[in-house]
Amino acid sequence: MRKPSELRPDDYRRIKELPPKCRVLRKAAKGNGGTVVHLRSSRKSGFYSVEGGKVRPIDFLAASALLEAPETEKPLAFSKYADASSHYRDVALALEAFRREAETGDAAADEPPVRIGIGGQASQALKAANKFLGNVSLWIAHGALPPGLRPLCSELSAALAAGTYAQLEFALRDLAASLPKRKGPLPASAVAAIEAPLRALHATYCASRAPASLPEGESDPVVVLSETFAP
């Protein structure tokens, strides 16, 4: 959105101020259509693709690829191509999946998450996060970090692979970047700088939560963006 907001600020402000129910339909580039939904709460943010009643989490780059549109693209009227209520049904399904993930800590989708990167490569943040967790595992094996971190490290690696929480890879990347750049064994002074943040990240993204209510400090999710595509 940065480019249109800078080059065409008047149009950008006009679109931004439109009420949420000013919905239009878009023509799907491929496939059978469906809806892309971006949801966010105080704890997590997620993108979902809903097609034929099936929900699957997707990462930011996959969502960007689906939502990308040339300036010449024309909107379609819901009344001519689809029942407008289908859009809200799809959003409701995505909200249900998002809430289940927030309550249980488990991915609640019908298919595994889609994770793509530019040129087919994993994101740089994801690469850095996986490399850091690999280093942590080595430090644990060599006795530089307590063995109690091993299951936490495994669960964080699984959460990265699942792609449920978009912020996790960036948090791990930033934690790795905050450590002093040096070769050789892990200094004792760095143990606390790794252990406490890792435990905090695990508690935020991996610890089991009771499904009876939203986790403490969690806000209700809001719909940041939702677009429905006609086949």
* Local structure of 103: helix, strand or coil: helix
96 near 218, Cβ under 8 Å? no
153 near 136, Cβ under 8 Å? yes
Residue-level pLDDT at 110: 45
79 pLDDT exceeds 80? no
134-160 confidence digits (pLDDT tens) = 988 988 888 888 898 999 998 898 888
Residue-level pLDDT at 5: 60
Distance in angstroms (rounded) separating the CA atoms of residues 202 and 149: 10
**Structural domain boundaries in the chain:** 22-105+217-230, 122-205
Mean pLDDT (the chain) is 76
Inter-residue long-range contacts of 68-71, CB under 8 Å, 24+ positions, other chains counted:
69/26
Q: How many CB atoms lie within 10 A of CB 15?
A: 13
Q: What are the tokens at 12?
A: 């950008």
Residue-level pLDDT at 107: 54
Q: Which residue has the tokens 């087919």?
A: 120
174-199 confidence digits (pLDDT tens) = 898 888 776 667 777 788 889 999 99
Q: CB-based burial of residue 49 (10 Å sphere; 0-12 exposed, 13-18 middle, 19+ buried)?
A: buried
Distance in angstroms (rounded) separating the CA atoms of residues 112 and 104: 17
* Local structure of 139: helix, strand or coil: helix
Q: How many CB atoms lie within 10 A of CB 152?
A: 20
Residue 42 identity (one-letter amino acid) = S
Q: Write down the pTM of the prediction.
A: 0.49
Q: What are the tokens at 33?
A: 């259509």
CA distances (Å), origin 16, targets 1, 6, 8, 229:
11, 14, 12, 20
Nearest to 205 by CA among 129, 110, 141, 143: 129
Q: How many residues does the chain have?
A: 231
Give Cβ neighbours of residue 176 (< 8 Å, ≥ 6 apart). 128, 129, 131, 132, 135
25 near 228, Cβ under 8 Å? yes
Nearest to 145 by CA among 159, 154, 135: 135
Q: Which residue has the tokens 């719909």?
A: 223
